Amino acid sequence: MDDETFYHHANEERNDFYNWIKEAFNENELATRLLSANNKRDVQVIILREIVKRKAKV
């Protein structure tokens, strides 16, 4: 997604990614890690690490 869309959903007033991961997927730990992200790249890294971790368990 482009930066404008990303920062519409994640900024000082809201974090839709946190809410979505926590509420829709009931992934509290992953959602909490997303709160530490300061930018779009950080969110991408956190999510990619989670995907790799889960794939390694399969």
- Ranges of residues in the chain with a pLDDT under 50 are none
pLDDT in tens, 24-38: 999 999 999 999 998
Q: Kindly list the domain boundaries of the chain, sorted by start residue.
A: 3-57
**Predicted structure pTM score:** 0.83
32 Cβ contact partners less than 8 Å away, ≥ 6 residues apart: 18
Rounded Cα distance, 42 and 11, in Å: 13
